[in-house]
Chains A and B, each alone.
Chain A
Amino acid sequence: MATSRKSPIQRQDRSPAAVKVEGLSKSYGSQEVLHDVSFNVEPGEIFVIMGPSGSGKSVLLRHIAGLEVPTRGKLDINGFNPTLPETRDQFALALVFQSGALLNSLSVYDNLALYPHEHRLCPQKDLRDRVMRALRILSIEHAVQKMPAELSGGMRKRVAIARALVMEPQLLLYDEPTSELDPIMAATIAEIIATLREEYAVTSIVVSHDRDLSLTIADRFALMQGGQLHSVAPPGEFQKSTDPIITEFLNPQINLQNPRFKSLETSS
């Protein structure tokens, strides 16, 4: 029988994680994609990072998840560097990828059971309960035996969140959780993110383009622009801001008479 050992969360006090980012820069060759980014995320906070495409949001999230090593600067999760493999088990972190990143060769059940099984977090008999509990929270227990290829986009996202839940994370990272989803499913995902914070005392960092989602769930916003952190503030302050970059991002104007496209019209 598999021996159980304490999960990283049980090893410490089960408190939500604090994140500190100091002077973070990242270059790929001569191209700098992140420049001197600094911010703190408080324990239990929902911190939403927004910004135009290519502004460096997802790269920043990958750094926090320990998937990239910064060129300069420091990252700190509960006092530990997430990029070092030897300190990775000192905190419980889960990342919900934009694509879900479910292991395609494993069923939904095996995807969810992988983490507790590999880390021997609970005896085999408790494993199924743990997995089913996570699936029930996301209302997808009927999909337990399905393969990822059989799931819709929304279902894959929910399974990815359930997989993160099974890990009992102190820090939950979401990369574009509502992309490619219809408004109803997007609202469901927003509810799930907010509920998980309330019920599981988890710190959440959400990278999103979805303005409505962000305004609904965020405790604080960060706006990225050209690899730099433009501003960090609560949603209320953002909405009142007169900064043209913020107002243009939050309230983009649709100009049906845009002269840029007039030439296209005439040429056709």
Chain B
Amino acid sequence: MNRINNFLEAFGAGVIMTWRAFAMLPAAPRILKRITEQGFLIGYTSLPIIGILCFFMGSVLALQAGISLREFGAKEFIGALVGASMARELGPVMVAIILAGRVGSAVTAELASMRVNSEIDALTTMNIPPERLLVLPRLLAVILVMPVLTMLANLIGWFGGAVVCEYVGFIGLSADEFFRNLQSYVSFSDVMDGLIKAEVFGIVVMIISCNTGLRTQGGPREIGLAVTKSVVLSLIAILTLDYFITKLLA
């Protein structure tokens, strides 16, 4: 019962925090510098990890598809399979998971540490809402950066698939054929659906990370617990939402 109460309390606090942050949207031009800094942090620092993971994700997909489809004489469909899987599912989900692990954990740790060290209280006494200074720039940055990161993840994944097709002998499919097949089966709406998913995942991960950080009470041990909680909650939210958004967009 206590756990349900805590969850509902945290959920309510998250909704209020998000509402307050977006209510301060008119202040956005004044926090452009902070939005840029956060955009850099989210985008630039996660890009190398996204690049490596998505390259191998595309490669493995192509390899597995190659092994299975050659038995049915349908190896030319590897492009369609890798293309659609990356665009509709793996691209947005991988980017969101990396966002939760790489950026969300750092955001939670920073805000939790600010809470524990009375920095948030200092802002409150200065009549500076933490939602304006700390939450809104991160939310706006994630909204701007997520589509770009997801598009790059898709391209890198497709490229990884093409490399495997070209250089793994038993698949016997050229990169040209891979991309031709990908182009004819992956539509603009497939990519758009993936980008919509990525936006929702990004916003939810950032809300969970900020809310968990700002609600932390205690000391260093609680900061560690808050980070773990934020990452776990984010992963659950990503995979749960993935099902419902996919159903909604189908």
Contact = CB atoms under 8 A, between A and B. Distances in A.
Contacts of B126: 94, 114-115, 118, 167
A89 interface: yes
A67 interface: yes
B64 interface: no
Most A Cβ at <10 Å: residue of B121, B123, B132 = B121
A115 B126 CA distance: 6
Interface residues of A, number: 22
Nearest to A98: B118
Most B Cβ at <10 Å: residue of A101, A102, A105, A115 = A101
A245 B114 CA distance: 38
A192 to B, nearest CB: 19
A95 interface: yes
A104 B121 CA distance: 14
Contacts of A167: 126
Interface in B108-162: 110, 113-114, 117-119, 121-129, 132-133
Size category, B interface: 10 to 19
Most B Cβ at <10 Å: residue of A62, A67, A118 = A118
A99 interface: yes
Given A95-B122, A97-B122, A114 B128 contact: yes
A104 B125 contact: no
A103 interface: yes
Nearest to A97: B118
Interface in B225-241: none
Given A99-B117, A101-B117, A103-B114, A119 B127 contact: yes
B121 A67 contact: yes
Contacts of A197: none
Interface string B98-115: 000000000000100110
A172 to B, nearest CB: 11
A88 interface: yes
Given A115-B126, A118-B126, A101 B121 contact: yes
Contacts of A99: 117-118
A89 B129 CA distance: 12
A95 B125 contact: yes
Interface in A27-49: none
Contact of B119 (A62, A93, A95, A103): A103
Contacts of B128: 114-115, 118-119
A251 to B, nearest CB: 33
A65 B125 contact: yes
A93 B199 CA distance: 40
Interface of A: 62, 65-67, 85, 88-89, 93-95, 97, 99, 101-105, 114-115, 118-119, 167
7 contacts: A88-B127, A95-B122, A97-B122, A101-B119, A102-B119, A103-B122, A114-B128
Given A104-B113, A118-B128, 8 more contacts: A65-B121, A67-B125, A88-B127, A93-B125, A94-B126, A114-B126, A118-B132, A167-B126
Interface of B: 110, 113-114, 117-119, 121-129, 132-133
